[in-house]
Chain A
Amino acid sequence: MNEWLGILLQVFLIITAIAVVMHQNHFTIIILMSVFSIIAATLYTINQAPDVAIAEVAINAAIIPLIYVIAISRQRELIVYDKLHHQQTKPNQKLEGDVYLYLQRFSQKHKLKLNFCHDLKVSDKVIFQDLNVDVLIDRDKRNDQFVLKGKSSNVLMKKMMKDLKANERVRFEMVEEGENLD
């Protein structure tokens, strides 16, 4: 009985492993990975290694998915640092002005969550180096222009620059990222 169960579970293990590689949706992959580790833990128990099975379930089916969920939901945000400070908006409130409307459309197009923040008192370079802010909004008073700044290493920023070239009221600047040790 246990032999056949073992063989069946090994087949399931291979199927789940292939599904993890082939699937597109990140959150489904996380669920599949914890399914994988639960099947593996059952196999360990069948082969008389309950200690290893407990460690497998606790780490690979519980802790690592929790960490992945945080890490992936981080990547789905467009973080905008608003230097002008006149907008304390929540994402479902109506945004006003050209730049804000554009940012909202841009984030909807790329399926990102728009996230504003405005209470850091540090220089521009430090913001891009130490914090993962994507876009910075500033205002040029002489030309009456909005100035958007973005990291040159970010792929999305290049698309944004292309979009904004025609617009006269907005200027886009790339900020070079300092060489990091890592």
Chain B
Amino acid sequence: MIRKWMSLPLLLIVFFAFAIALTDYENLYVDTARIFYQTYGYLYTGSLNLVTAIYLDFRLLDTLFEAGILLVAVTGVSYIAQHDQVEHNPLFMLDKFKIPELFVSLARIIYPIVLLFGIYVVFNGHLAPGGGFQGGSILATALLILYYIDLKKKTNLQLIFTIEKVLYLLLISISMISFLTRGEWFTNFIPLESNLLLKSVFLIALNLIIGAKVALGLTAIFISFLKEGR
């Protein structure tokens, strides 16, 4: 344990180190990476959205670990929330939990629009702002609204976990195909010289998988919160 007074000199040391590092201005702001991505990003990957170009092509390995973190988080939440009681009446807590009529009727109107918008964001991840994670979380919102409309809805949580794990394996295996075609790990598997439209097939496929995985993962977290301690 660090005592309270010891944290003050520690903070001062960190502050001075930070200030010294800031004086080295010219080495801090190197824009070679920015110029590289701006000039070659679209040509190499076929993605107008440079963020997607980075996270699905240049730095795909980082994305794989990011998706893995979500998987670990969902597994941890489901482990903490689990209990092995047989649920005779699993809704005994929620039947008296009243939701305003206004919210329910508005949610019924909004639900299909949100669903459509989420799918749009996932599919257009390489052309416009958005992508798998953003679209997936919008889809998850739509699925959560469904639980507010109908609280007695039953879901098979185990099936959701299984689908999520299979999708993660699919993500890894699709991103490893590039070793056979290009001789490089974790990048686009369509050869570098081919058509830009053809290259976007890979981006759409990966965005779809990531979107489905994120949507299912966030929904699973919500459902295990809903079931926790019942």
Contact = CB atoms under 8 A, between A and B. Distances in A.
B225 A71 contact: yes
Contacts of A63: 137, 140-141, 144, 218, 222
A91 B222 CA distance: 27
Chain A contact surface mostly: helix
A59 interface: yes
B134 A79 contact: no
B92 A58 contact: no
Contacts of B205: none
Please classify how large the interface on chain B is, using the bins under 10, 10 to 19, 20 to 34, 35 or more: 20 to 34
Contacts of B51: 51
B81 to A, nearest CB: 11
B85 A77 contact: no
Contacts of A11: none
Please classify how large the interface on chain A is, using the bins under 10, 10 to 19, 20 to 34, 35 or more: 20 to 34
B93 A79 contact: yes
B181 to A, nearest CB: 28
A58 B225 contact: no
Interface stretch (A117-125, A140-148, A168-176): A117-125
B119 to A, nearest CB: 13
A117 B92 contact: yes
Nearest to A132: B229
A31 interface: no
Contact of B89 (A59, A66, A74, A117): A117
B97 interface: yes
Given A51-B51, A58-B138, A62-B141, A131 B96 contact: no
Contacts of B85: 120, 122, 126, 130-131
Contacts of A55: 133-134, 137
A119 B222 CA distance: 25
A51 B92 contact: no
25 contacts: A50-B129, A51-B131, A58-B141, A59-B137, A62-B137, A62-B144, A63-B140, A63-B141, A63-B218, A67-B222, A77-B96, A79-B93, A91-B96, A115-B93, A115-B96, A117-B89, A119-B88, A119-B92, A120-B88, A130-B84, A130-B229, A131-B229, A132-B229, A132-B230, A182-B80
- A-B pairs, top 3 by smallest CB distance, nearest first, are A50-B129, A58-B137, A132-B229
Interface of B: 49, 51, 80, 83-85, 88-89, 92-93, 96-97, 121, 129-131, 133-134, 137-138, 140-141, 144-145, 148, 218, 221-222, 225-226, 229-230
